[in-house]
Amino acid sequence: MSSDQSPHTGPGKPLTVVVSGLSSDAHTWNLVYLQLVLEELGHTVTNLGACLPEQELAARCRTIQPDLIVLSSVNGHGYQDGLRAIAALRECPELMTTPTVIGGKLDTVGGDPTMGGQLLDAGFDAVFSEHSTGADAVSAFCSFVAFVADASTEADAGQGPATVTSPVGA
């Protein structure tokens, strides 16, 4: 599912974004919602769907070469699945520095306050869990996307590499 239906409305350059579920999560409504939010901001989105094994996620992202990878969980296994997914992505030289975020329901027990930090330490650039960002999760996510778009614009203008140090974290 790929589309570029809206003109870019945010700051920075339009991004190529991959949205995906995690290996154990069969939910798709969250992925469609994220796709629509990103397309409304003017970005091009490839939605890889639900239940995507980690190695397939990495292979598809190597082919697409996105500016941003967005992983989403609804089933509460995002923490465990996310650790495997980010390890597979960061093993690929082409994806080592690609900004990658995870969000949604990351556990089934109510939110270990150390999970966000552990996911960041594992290689995610931002974590948007129901506990870490509360009701403002979509606003925080959109701010992060704008930040990545700005960083990509600066890199394209020769102002250095598009290094992302998130203003939004766990």
**pTM for the predicted model, two decimal places:** 0.86
β 2-3/68-73 pair status? unpaired
Residue type, 96: M
CATH topology of domain 11-156: Rossmann fold (3.40.50)
Domain ranges of the chain: 11-156
What is the spatial distance between Cα 31 and Cα 20, in angstroms, rounded to a whole number? 7
Exposed/middle/buried for 139, CB within 10 Å: 0-12, 13-18, 19+?
A: exposed
pLDDT digits over 108-135, tens only?
887 677 899 999 999 999 999 876 655 5
pLDDT digits over 18-45, tens only?
999 999 999 999 999 999 999 999 999 9
